[in-house]
Amino acid sequence: MEVAGNLKTIQENIGHACERSGRKPEDITVIGVTKYVTIERTKEAIDSGIENLGENRNEGFLEKYNHFGNQAKWHFIGTLQSRKVKDVIDKINVLHSLDRMSLAKEINKRTAAPMDCFVQINVSGEESKHGIEPEEVLPFIEKLEKYHHIHVIGLMTMAPHIDDPDRIRKVFRSLAELRDRIKEKKFSHAPCEYLSMGMSNDYEIAIEEGATHIRIGSKLVGS
C-alpha cells in the first residue's frame, strides 16, 4: 500500500472517531513514525503531505534529519540518553519522552530556546514501559520549573500491547484525567494542553479519549 492511500484511510478513520466524540479533525496532529522505513519511503510520506515525522533512536533520527532538514517537523518519541542530548536536541521540534530529572537538566543545559516536551507517563504500570508513575507526575512537573528551557506542552503514554479495547481505553482515559489535573494548575512552564497517545492499532480509541497527537508507523508508512 502506498503512503498516500494509507493516509487517506487514516484521515477517514480520524473523521469518524471525531464524529463519535464531538471533536474536530484539525485538532489532531498525525505524526508519521518513520523508524522502520527507508529514506525513499520517508520522502513518499513528506510528498503525501505528512508534515510531522517521528523517530525513536538517535541514529535513525539523524539520518533522516540530515537528509530532509526542515522539510518536516521532527518529533523524538524514543528514550533519549542524557549523553546523546547534545547531538540531537537543537534539531528536534518536540520531545515526547521526557521521563526523568537528569534528562531535563541536560536538555536545559544544551538548548538555547525553550524545548517543547511531553512528559512520558507509565499509566499501565508495566515494568517494561518507560515513564513517570502517575502519582509522581505532579511533583515532577513542579520541579521542572527551575529549568527555564523546559516547556511541558502535554503528557504522553504508550498503551500495553493487548487486544482488549476496554483496558486500552482506560489507560488513555487515565492520561487525559492526569493532564486535566495538571492543566488546571496553570503552570506557566507547563501549560500541559496536549495528549500524545495512540499508535497504529489504537489511535481511534485514543482520539475518542482526547488524543491531540497520534503517532502512527506501520499502518501509515509501513513496517
Contacts 24+ apart (CB under 8 A), 78-86: 78/35, 79/130, 82/106, 84/58, 85/110, 86/110
119 is a contact residue toward ligand PLP (CB under 6 A): no
Taking the least distance from each CB to ligand PLP, the nearer of 82 and 200 is 200
- Minimum distance of ligand PLP from residue 97's CB (angstroms): 7
Q: H or E segment at 17?
A: helix 3-21
* Contact indicator for 154, 118 with CB cutoff of 8 Å: yes
Taking the least distance from each CB to ligand PLP, the nearer of 7 and 33 is 33
75 is a contact residue toward ligand PLP (CB under 6 A): no
Stretch that binds ligand PLP, among 145-153, 165-173, 174-182, 194-202 (CB under 6 A): 194-202
CA pair distance 164, 168, nearest whole angstrom: 6
200 is a contact residue toward ligand PLP (CB under 6 A): yes
Taking the least distance from each CB to ligand PLP, the nearer of 38 and 109 is 38
Angle at the Cα of 150 (from 144 to 151), degrees rounded to 5? 105
Among 56, 111, 122, 157, binds ligand PLP (CB under 6 A): 56
Residue with cell 493532564: 179
Among 75, 100, 179, 215, binds ligand PLP (CB under 6 A): 215
Q: How far is CA 135 from CA 123, 131, 138, 175, 177, in A?
A: 10, 12, 7, 12, 12
134 is a contact residue toward ligand PLP (CB under 6 A): no
CA pair distance 191, 206, nearest whole angstrom: 21
58 is a contact residue toward ligand PLP (CB under 6 A): no
Interface residue list for ligand PLP (CB under 6 A): 33, 35, 56, 77-78, 158, 199-201, 215-218, 223
